[in-house]
């Protein structure tokens, strides 16, 4: 059977999300399948925070966990749809919800990286309590925009369980000490993906310092795509995931 990482390539074209509005229209409701009695995409109560969204893959075997953090003004449902597609629904996907923007503004945000870290810890604990099939290692942290920028500083703390990172349109620069801290804690690879030239400039520098710290890092840049995880950016992320997860038997 082909590995999950390589099988991802077969869904690149179908996976592209053209607009967030189209995505929202199809992802707000939990799904039921005719042959299943449980809701596979469901709200997950996270003490002290907004409920997360939690996707459970079919089957009984242990599977890795992807934790996804949205950008400012984003939401958990969009991230869950994105990462369910990229993993072909063969991994657990836990999508953080952040704090409501409030007022006339829809969407959610993270107050700072410490708030994101607290929510990450609480949500991961709730997910593992709910699903003993989640593997203790081989996890992926996936952040877009604010989720990537604020996620980078906390990755070393979670590297033992989440050795892989996908940071899309993030603007937090890495340095050699940060890279060494990540790899010494168990981090394995970092994928940076950009659609804007500002992100790509930061990503180019970060990749150089991560590699200098002996952290395999890769930058994918869809020039002209803009500040988005969708479209050509998503195509590049999907194509790079086999590299990110290469050699990990838990992603077979």
pLDDT digit string (tens) for 117-138?
999 999 999 999 999 999 999 9
Nearest alpha carbon to residue 189 among 157, 218, 168: 218
Strand, helix or coil for residue 134: strand
pLDDT of residue 103: 84
pLDDT of residue 83: 98
How many separate domains does the chain show?
1
Contact present, 10 and 85 (Cβ < 8 Å):
no
How far is residue 142's CA from residue 74's CA, in Å, rounded to a whole number?
A: 14
How far is residue 246's CA from residue 242's CA, in Å, rounded to a whole number?
A: 6
Domain span holding position 16: 4-251
Each residue's pLDDT tens digit, 147-161: 999 999 999 999 999
Q: CATH code at 195?
A: 3.40.50.1820
In the chain, which residues have pLDDT < 50? 1-2, 4-38
Contact present, 86 and 8 (Cβ < 8 Å):
yes
pLDDT of residue 39: 56
Q: Specify the residue for token string 């390589």.
A: 6
């Amino acid at each position: 059977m082909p590995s999950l990482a390589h099988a991802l390539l077969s869904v690149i074209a179908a996976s592209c999300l053209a607009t967030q509005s189209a995505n929202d229209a199809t992802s707000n409701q939990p799904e039921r399948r005719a042959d299943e009695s449980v809701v596979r995409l469901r709200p997950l109560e996270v003490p002290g925070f907004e409920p997360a969204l939690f996707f459970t893959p079919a089957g009984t075997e242990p599977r890795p966990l992807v934790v996804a953090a949205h950008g400012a003004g984003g939401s958990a449902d969009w991230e869950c749809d994105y990462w369910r597609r990229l993993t072909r629904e063969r991994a657990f996907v836990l999508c953080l919800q952040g704090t409501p923007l409030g007022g006339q503004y829809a969407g959610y945000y993270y107050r700072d990286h410490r708030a994101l870290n607290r929510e990450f810890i609480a949500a991961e604990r709730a997910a593992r309590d709910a699903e003993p099939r989640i593997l203790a290692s081989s996890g992926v942290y996936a952040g877009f925009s604010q989720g990537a920028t604020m996620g980078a500083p906390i990755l070393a703390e979670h590297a033992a369980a989440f050795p892989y990172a996908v940071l899309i349109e993030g603007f937090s620069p890495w340095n050699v000490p940060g890279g060494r801290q990540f790899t010494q804690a168990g981090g394995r690879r970092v994928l940076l993906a950009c659609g804007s030239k500002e992100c790509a400039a930061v990503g180019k520098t970060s990749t150089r310092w991560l590699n200098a710290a002996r952290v395999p890092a890769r930058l994918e840049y869809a020039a002209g795509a803009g500040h988005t995880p969708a479209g050509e950016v998503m195509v590049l992320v999907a194509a790079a995931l086999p590299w990110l997860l290469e050699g990990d038997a838990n992603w077979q």
